[in-house]
Structure 1
Amino acid sequence: MDLRTIIENRYSVRSYQQKEVEEEKLIKILEAGQLAPSAVNNQPWHFIVVREPENHAKFSEIYHRDWFKEAPVYIIVCGDHNTAWKRKEDGKDHTNIDAAIAIDHMTLQATELGLGTCWICNFYVKKCKEFFQLPEHIEPIAILSLGYPNDDKIPVKKRKALDEIVHWEKF
């Protein structure tokens, strides 16, 4: 599959088969995140892989969606604010940006491997930090659900036209 096809085929999966994700595929997905670029190459990310049933139960308190409980694997993508680059002019912390790039790499790799993902940002951060024992300076940025989609029908993506979002030479 070429990159354009992978991008076109990636969508937010909200129904998963109860099928285990192979270790070698999971490692490839994690390596894709590892290979992502980051500001000043600081790589301020950590990936917590959650597969055990007793840990899956914790997610019902972190994110309240029934479909979410179906995923066989979750990857909690965390950012380390102590190691992230901060822009000198205004102090902008690039943790979220760097983590987002890693997440995007992982979602595209998962798609290429026939797996589905959903990128979740609307969850209870304090409970996530507590349940998974995150240090103070480590922030859970997003949770990536991962598994084999129940449906192979790719939804139609609604996107703005290029002339609505592209500006040439000035805004």
Structure 2
Amino acid sequence: MEVFEAIRTRRSVRAFKSTPIPEDKIKLILEAGRLAPSAGNIQPWHFIVVRDAEKRKRLSKARWAKFIAEAPVVIVGCGDQRASPRWFHVDVAIAMQNMVLAATGEGLGTCWVGSFNEEEVRELLKIPENYRVVALLAVGYPREKIDVTSKILHFVQRRKKLSEIVSFEEIGRKTSQNLLLLALRLFRFISRIYSS
């Protein structure tokens, strides 16, 4: 799969098959993380591959992360705050995004989890004090077949237009059309909250 195709078709998967992931695919995903750029080329990351069912179950206690228990692999991205105190979060995030794209290219689904109890994760995985947990990445084969066309349409409809997020030379004032779109999105969001 071409890189842009992986970017375009990637989605967050929250329902996984129990099918084990072959070692060569896991290694490729980890290699994609290893090859990521980092500030000063410090590479302050460490990745913990969690396959143990009991550990995955304990990791799934994070908010909105019950699906972690059924993902055959969870990659925990940690950053060495002593090696790169200012940039470790960014560097680990870049490396994990490389992993997401590599996994997508291999026909795997992923879901990035950023809401978790860091102390519980640290204790469970025996993470030393100089490392901070940046994110958990659930990886596995999607349980349902991905209908790429409908998912892309849904994906495209939910994404902002380039004209809404890009400026050249400096950030300009928002046009009245952009403000109207923002108000409409806010109204829809509030309506969903109150209707559920």
Same fold (TM over 0.5): yes
Pairwise CA distance, 1:82? 0.9
1:153 corresponds to 2:147: yes
Give yes or no for contact 1:72–1:147 (8 Å, CA) kept in 2: yes
- Aligned-residue offset at 1:65: 3.3
Residue of structure 2 equivalent to 1:90? none
CA contact (8 A) 1:79 1:99 kept: yes
Aligned partners of 1:17 and 1:97: how far apart in 2?
31
Shift of 1:68: 2.5
Partner of 1:33: 33
Q: Which runs of 5+ in 1 are unaligned?
A: 87-92
What TM-score does the superposition give when structure 1 sets the normalisation length?
0.91
- The match for 1:16 is 16
Is the CA contact (8 Å cut-off) linking 1:51 and 1:73 kept in structure 2?
yes
Residue of 65, 88, 92 corresponding to 1:95: 88
Q: 1: distance between equivalents of 2:147 and 2:116?
A: 27
The separation in 2 between residues aligned to 1:66 and 1:58, in whole angstroms, is 10
Alignment RMSD (CA, Å): 1.3
Deviations 1:8-37 (A, max 9, x none): 111100000110000000000000000000
Q: Runs of 5+ in structure 2 lacking a partner?
A: 172-196
Q: Is the 8 A contact 2:57 2:68 kept in 1?
A: no
Q: Following the alignment from structure 2 to structure 1, what is the Cα–Cα distance between the partners of residues 34 and 170?
A: 35
Instruction: Work out which structure has the larger RCO, using CA pairs closer than 8 Å and 6 or more positions apart in sequence.
Output: 1
**Helix, strand or coil: the match of 1:8?**
helix
Distance in 2 (alpha carbons) for counterparts of 1:62 and 1:161: 32
Structure 1 CA distance for aligned equivalents of residues 23 and 31 of structure 2: 12
Structure 1 residue 63: Cα displacement = 4.7
**Structure 1 residues 159, 60: closer, same or farther in 2, change over 3 A?**
closer
Larger gyration radius, structure 1 or structure 2: 2
Identity of aligned residues (%): 41
Secondary structure of the structure 2 residue equivalent to 1:140 = strand
Distance (whole Å) between structure 2 residues aligned to residue 13 and residue 59 of structure 1 = 17
* Contact kept in structure 1, 2:79 and 2:133, CA below 8 Å: yes
Amino acid at match of 2:169: E
- Cα deviation, residue 69, structure 1: 1.6
CA contact (8 A) 1:61 1:127 kept: no
Choose the corresponding residue for 1:128, options 111, 121, 130: 121
Q: Which structure has greater helix proportion?
A: 2
Using structure 2 for the length normalisation, give the TM-score.
Answer: 0.80
What amino acid sits opposite 1:55 in the alignment?
A: K
Number of residue pairs the alignment of both structures matches: 164
- Find runs of 4+ consecutive structure 1 residues off by over 4 angstroms: none
Give CA deviations for 1:38-66 in whole Å, capped at 9, x if unaligned: 00000000000000223223214345533
**Structure 1 CA distance, aligned partners of 2:67 and 2:7?**
23
CA contact (8 A) 1:62 1:128 kept: no
1-side partners of 2:60 and 2:163: how far apart?
Answer: 42
Q: Following the alignment from structure 1 to structure 2, what is the Cα–Cα distance between the partners of residues 68 and 105?
A: 20
